[in-house]
Chains A and B, each alone.
Chain A
Amino acid sequence: MAVKQISIFVENKEGKLVTITDSIAKAGVDIRAMSVADTQDFGIFRLIVTEPEKALEALQSSGCFVSITKVVGVSIPDEPGSLAKIVKILARNNINIEYMYAFITVSKKFASVVLRVADNEVAEKILVENGVKLLEEKDIVEM
């Protein structure tokens, strides 16, 4: 069920983001969401895209250092309290969130949240049991 996330190692140097975004654009892949984790020396650029394999290939051939990680994607109502609700579910079940980021699609009244946890299957099972809708690869494409 989990969603594929592309992680790119970015040295803090001029022009690195240009190479990354250009090669994704040229591959005709759409970026749905992104987040950046940064340290003093480098950053990790994380993307949810419509066609992860195609993006991966394009990035690798332009010399980027890339890996694919499976993350949990959930779809929640775009209204106050819905993020709090899923965070509470996970906390109650002792599931730590390593990092998370969210994005909103304009056309639908839903927000999407990307969650990085230690065990995707356990987290997904618990979320489903609590009535949370999970995102699938096709949902990303159809957004």
Chain B
Amino acid sequence: MQNKYFQPEAETMPLEEIKKIQNEKLVKQVKNVYDNVKYYRDLMDKKGVKPEDIKGTEDLHKLPFLKKDDLREAYPYGLLATDLKNCVRIQSTSGTTGKRVVAFYTQNDIDMWEECTARALVAAGATEDDVVQVCYGYGLFTGGAGVHGGSHKVGCLTLPMSSGNTDRQIQFMMDLESTILCCTPSYAAYIGEHLKESGYKPEDNKLKAGIFGAEPWTEEMRRDIEKALGIKAYDIYGLTEISGPGVAFECEEQKGMHINEDHFIAEIIDPDTGEVLPEGSKGELVFTSLDKEAFPLLRYRTRDICVLSREKCSCGRTFIRMTKPMGRSDDMMIIRGVNVFPSQIETVLLNNGYAPNYQIILDRVNNSDTFDINVEMSPEDFSDTPKTITMKEKKLQDAMKAMLGINPKVHLLAPKSIPRSEGKAVRLIDNRRRYGITI
């Protein structure tokens, strides 16, 4: 029998109940963090806030924010709230200047995270009869591990494919009759094209649903993927700092993602003033982890711009919904599902003896991101053979790949050839905006 919810008592609890749980958990969590995380205690002391000042969610605004820079500064153990011996896992994501962000998990943290992704899977129709093909990357990236664990919790047969090797993905999809596909939307689109090229029609596969996240995508792309694979496509949202994918997930309504409010409090703030904005306002999403033991972040600024809505959902879930992120309040780009900061690119250039005269050009070809970096050479970089230049390009490309985790195409250009507007070089040309991609 198909269950509509993975944890119905949580997912459909009345609003008053959500508020009550959030109030209780918040008071406890703030005290826990104040007692165990010196870094945050210092921030609270600096702001003159004591744990006793926080009596419930209405006092949340009194707490200081945490930013990505704080995570970098506190790297690696500065925000840990428990003994390392209680931790069982780390996951990691890229930081702003190359230093990675490391998040720690206790077994309870892992269970909570996997229950969140299990909710997302069940919302997409998963039962123990399903075959879930996970082609998010495995490893430090949270995509693979998070959905994988959720799939186990639901009792689905889980195919830990990881990303890449599309021929093998298709072989397993066909031979083992996968019913739910989990990957980035651009990879889903790519698999769709590959299936078509291999002579398969959408009805030839057994897929019924797909859970796609980790990068921005549009409604148009959703329709394309649904048509190409013959499925219903669901969005999922999350971030390593808070747990991973599954912080919020889409239901059959496909109108925004329900935030797992029994574990996380979401706020929308004005990114400039930090002021909390009323429901329905567009602003920066801020999360507070209520249940995390190892790495409990309070008021973490995601830099994602979106809108929250408490409007009743026909699926029966009572959790607040967030729109897809509509933009960023910093200069982070999401390229092929990977977070990239211009400062990382600058770091690589300086480390390799180049002046930071560069331009990033992003575009979309066949629903997949193209990533080019133009870099100005200095006169001594140029002689009379293409070989010396292409070798330098290759070396720089390898250094970029090592820092960013994805492979850009590096082009060395003549000095002063990158257009400057009012003396300042334009660092980013994002042609993906033409296709509605805004991050």
Contacts and interface: CB of A to CB of B under 8 A. Distances in A.
Interface string B275-288: 00000000000000
B191 to A, nearest CB: 28
A7 B411 contact: no
Nearest to B413: A11
B377 interface: yes
A2 B390 CA distance: 27
Nearest to B383: A67
A9 B386 CA distance: 9
Contact of A39 (B383, B384, B390): B390
Contact of B379 (A63, A67, A116): A67
Contact of A99 (B385, B390, B414): B385
B20 interface: no
A62 to B, nearest CB: 12
Interface in B336-392: 377, 379, 382-386, 389-390
Of the listed residues B384, B411, B413, B417, the one surrounded by the most CB atoms of chain A closer than 10 A to its CB is B384
A38 B383 CA distance: 14
B417 A42 contact: no
Contacts of A41: 411
A42 B374 CA distance: 12
Interface in A49-106: 63-65, 67, 69, 98-99
Nearest to A68: B384
Given A9-B414, A41-B411, A65 B382 contact: yes
Given A39-B390, A42-B389, A65 B383 contact: no
B76 interface: no
A42 B379 CA distance: 16
Of the listed residues A41, A42, A99, the one surrounded by the most CB atoms of chain B closer than 10 A to its CB is A41
B385 A65 contact: no
A44 B414 contact: no
B394 to A, nearest CB: 12
B415 interface: yes
B385 A44 contact: yes
Contacts of B411: 41-42
B379 A39 contact: no
B310 interface: no
A141 interface: no
Contact of B384 (A11, A46, A63, A64): A46
Nearest to A98: B385
Interface in A5-58: 5, 7, 9, 11, 37-39, 41-44, 46
A65 B416 CA distance: 10
Contacts of B415: 65
A5 B414 contact: no
A37 B385 contact: yes
A20 B417 CA distance: 15
A55 to B, nearest CB: 15
A99 B388 CA distance: 14
A46 B385 CA distance: 9
A115 to B, nearest CB: 12
A44 B386 contact: yes
Interface in B396-432: 411, 413-417
A89 B181 CA distance: 65
Interface of A: 5, 7, 9, 11, 37-39, 41-44, 46, 63-65, 67, 69, 98-99, 116
Interface of B: 377, 379, 382-386, 389-390, 411, 413-417
Nearest 3 Cβ contacts at the A-B interface: A65-B414, A7-B384, A69-B384
14 contacts: A9-B382, A37-B385, A38-B386, A39-B386, A42-B386, A42-B411, A43-B386, A65-B379, A65-B414, A65-B415, A67-B382, A67-B383, A99-B385, A116-B385
Given A9-B382, A42-B389, 14 more contacts: A7-B384, A9-B377, A9-B389, A11-B414, A37-B385, A38-B386, A39-B389, A39-B390, A43-B386, A64-B414, A65-B377, A67-B379, A69-B383, A69-B384
